[in-house]
Structure 1
């Protein structure tokens, strides 16, 4: 199972990969990545940032920080280091079960543009498989307990079931789209590899006369 700290680290690295940010802006952006109803506290973010600084993954952007401090209340601006870029590349390309979990899938999805088509498809298929397993469990549980549930609890169960079914359909559409794009890319690559022209294949008139 994915740890929430892993998703937070990936979110911070991915955002700083795009541009340097101070802690307040990072908190807003990470909260948006984590999804509705999940607010990232400073008590979670700043220990993570300090640890990442100690690990050499991020560093204080001194030039930007000094400019900010001279104009308004001091804020530390963070930037990605070379080690941080390598760590981001490793995390974002990881397509195992940890990338399919509720806590981390949305963060991985947000940085899909930095991954290969193969990685995207593996993560999408893994997420769909995980949700299909969840659907089977919920349907089985609902069938067994339907008679004992009041109508409000039953509606809540149905609402959850509908939400998961919608996400499964959405994932299936994304997977199909990725496969079409992947196939088109392969055809383009294959076409680009054909360099022989008709002029190369057809003997010249001068050669025929000989």
Structure 2
């Protein structure tokens, strides 16, 4: 399982791979990427940035503020060549850490910069991990369903359906990758 700091580092490297960003914008984009369940505080972001500065993966530049409301200069973070190499190295990993719940979403967000063979290995690894989890949960559910109240059973059923849905989604992505087809967007609900 990846540490939260490593997940933040991968996300920062990926965002800075796209363009230089100042701290506020970086945090805003990270929060969009991480989702509502894992909001990132400045107390987590800035120590990660300092570590990445010490590692030589990013550099900072002071830029005068363009806002009349603020006279403080902004610090803009930019990827270095070493940071670019680290991002490529991290995105090339295909082992269990790449399939992990903590890092898969971040890695998936940057799949466009990854070789198809690596994408397939990560998607297949994730699907296998989820299928194993699904079998385990379904087995436990069958054993404990009689002992649960209806709400606990409903929560477990919801968990099973969520994993089944993700397994189907991963299978569709894998098939599209193998066929060389673009990722298909899900149909939008009809407007009434």
TM-score scaled to structure 1, two decimals? 0.82
Which has the larger displacement, 42-51 or 1-10?
A: 1-10
Which has the larger displacement, 111-120 or 4-13?
A: 4-13
The Cα shift of 1:75 comes to 2.2
User: Partner of 1:98 in structure 2?
Assistant: 97
Q: CA–CA distance in 2 between the matches of 1:74 and 1:179?
A: 48
User: Partner of 1:82 in structure 2?
Assistant: 81
Unaligned runs of 5+ in 1: 183-210
Unaligned runs of 5+ in 2: 182-192
User: Partner of 2:157 in structure 1?
Assistant: 158
Q: Would you say the 8 A contact 1:69–1:75 is kept in 2? A: no
TM-score scaled to structure 2, two decimals? 0.89
User: Partner of 2:63 in structure 1?
Assistant: 66
Which has the larger displacement, 125-134 or 65-74?
A: 65-74
Q: CA–CA distance in 1 between the matches of 2:178 and 2:67?
A: 51
Q: Would you say the 8 A contact 2:13–2:84 is kept in 1? A: yes
User: Partner of 1:177 in structure 2?
Assistant: 176
Q: Would you say the 8 A contact 1:35–1:106 is kept in 2? A: no
User: Partner of 1:185 in structure 2?
Assistant: none
More helix per residue: 1
Q: How many residues are treated as equivalent by the alignment?
A: 179
Q: CA–CA distance in 1 between the matches of 2:36 and 2:177?
A: 26
Q: CA–CA distance in 1 between the matches of 2:167 and 2:67?
A: 51
Q: Would you say the 8 A contact 1:9–1:48 is kept in 2? A: yes
The Cα shift of 1:35 comes to 2.3
Root-mean-square deviation over aligned CA pairs: 1.4
